[in-house]
Amino acid sequence: MRTLRSHAPRFGKLGHVLAIVCPGQGSQTPGFLAPWLDLPAVADRLGALGEAVGLDLVAHGTTSDEETIKDTAVAQPLIVAAGLVTAESMFDAALSDLPVVLAGHSVGEITASALAGVLSAEDAMRFVGVRARAMARAAAVTPTGMSAVVGGDRDEVLAAIAAAGAEPANVNGGGQIVAAGTFEQLKALAENPPAKARVIPLKVAGAFHTQHMAPAVADLEALRPELTVGDPTVPLLSNHDGAPVASGEAAVASLIAQVSRPVRWDLCMETLVSQGVTGVIELAPAGTLVGLAKRGMPGVKTVAVKTPADVDAALELFAADAEGDAETTKETV
């Protein structure tokens, strides 16, 4: 498998920018990490990340069943670790030397923050471990869940969610808004869907990014003084408003606050478009964010890195952008 070093000599100060995006909970599937364990050092690295959070992530990424990896306390650390080992396998050059911007959806914002240098990999795993356990406890207080509302008029969708007593937890763009609330509220929404929209239950065990998760915020605030925080070495977008965070402390504040406030992935995509992003690379477990980008960022190239076989296609985006910038330079000289 090639890594970024295959293309690194071609880079200079590029005008084009690529987005590296990290998925959130619900993107995991049984055995999704199995192909990555064929790469040297991945099993050991995944094992070390698992030790930091007290989980056997090798087993959870390869042999654990769907019900096991749906558990919030397992799913969130597994997804962050997957993004980290995927990135480490692909990029043997520092991301700060590359024309990239980072963003992560929900728990994926932790992955992105670690890749941006805000948190070490070990602190990212500690953070997600506390987050996952605290959110699991909060979810156990009242049976809650989440449902994607796909299609329909945006205002009508938001009105229907409110009428059911639920909350818009994720405003994802691309015609998708995720509602969260009690099972009764989600049932009411499904029985009275907005016009021209589908309501699809998600494989998550709680009403994340809503008032139901407020107790988890205190646990993360208690952890905060123990973290070693650095400023981002590359642009890093916040789930709150889609804007680049100004500092490492601001990034951590965003990570803590997003537990109980909506994720605005639509605003993240708007920022990526406004910054001239020409390609989107989604780290494993990939697919969801690339799907949203295809609808919400028309004309932007996308690659979902699900297995090592997808890495070459992702790295070709860097090569293509380098060639594109070279042509632009010729035309403007």
Residue with tokens 């708007």: 270
Contact 245, 232 (CB under 8 A): yes
Catalytic residue among 60, 105, 209, 240: 209
* Identity at 254, one-letter amino acid code: S
Catalytic residue among 27, 64, 89, 106: 106
Is 209 a residue of the active site?
A: yes
- Within the chain, strands assigned E span 17-22, 100-104, 144-151, 167-173, 176-182, 197-201, 277-282, 301-304
The span from the CA of 222 to the CA of 84, in Å, is 25
How is the beta sheet containing 17-22 ordered, strand by strand? 100-104, 17-22, 277-282, 301-304
The span from the CA of 148 to the CA of 211, in Å, is 18
Is 274 a residue of the active site?
A: no
CB atoms within 10 A of CB 187: 16
Cα 171 to chain centroid distance, Å, stands at 14
Length of the chain: 333
Closest CA to 95 of 198, 175, 36, 8: 8
Q: Which helix (H) or strand (E) holds 266?
A: helix 265-274
Closest CA to 130 of 77, 82, 80: 77
Q: Which residues pair with 301 in a beta bridge?
A: 279
Widest pairwise Cα distance in the chain? 64
The span from the CA of 246 to the CA of 116, in Å, is 12
Cα 287 to chain centroid distance, Å, stands at 11
Residue with tokens 């919030």: 72
The span from the CA of 273 to the CA of 280, in Å, is 11
What is the set of active-site residues? 106, 209
